[in-house]
Amino acid sequence: MIERVVVPTSGKGLYEFTGEVQDAVTASGVDEGLCTVMVQHTSASLTIQENADPSARRDLEDWLERHVPENDPHFTHTHEGPDDMPSHIRAALTSTTLSIPVVEGRLALGTWQGIYLWEHRRRGSGRGCVIHVGP
């Protein structure tokens, strides 16, 4: 089964959408299998991360900001603004696809794990994701 979802963002940050992915797993009727999620953009990414303490997500965001800063004078791909090329690099360093086992009809995530879309652009957007669930 394939489902498409749009994750609304309002700027840089991690946006949890574990519930939407689990809803797709439930709707598929798959008891044991694999769930694959892909973001259809080159300036956003996906991650499985701590969903209990928001300071872990802030630390990740801050770390990436320090290591891939805006306004780097070496960047030439800047026609959409100073966050354009850093967004592409951040997406390349992280992941655009996740695979999560399905066990007993549920995502086999750990107790404190959630699925996040990581928006790397300053402006908000609706980020399209494709979810595939199969045996």
Six-digit token pair at 49? Answer: 């991360």
DSSP 74: T
CA distance 121 to 105: 34
CA distance 2 to 132: 4
Q: How many domains does the chain have?
A: 1
- Record the pTM: 0.96
**CATH, residue 116:** 2.60.120.460
pLDDT digits (tens, 9 = 90+) for 7-48: 999 999 999 999 999 999 999 999 999 999 999 999 999 999
pLDDT digits (tens, 9 = 90+) for 49-86: 999 999 999 999 999 999 999 999 999 999 999 999 99
Amino acid at 131: I
- Asked if the model's pLDDT at residue 114 lies above 90, the reply is yes
Q: What is residue 102's predicted lDDT score, i.e. its pLDDT?
A: 98
Strand ranges (E), the chain: 2-9, 13-16, 33-39, 44-50, 97-103, 106-107, 113-119, 125-134
- Enclosing domain of residue 75: 2-134
- Asked if the model's pLDDT at residue 124 lies above 90, the reply is no
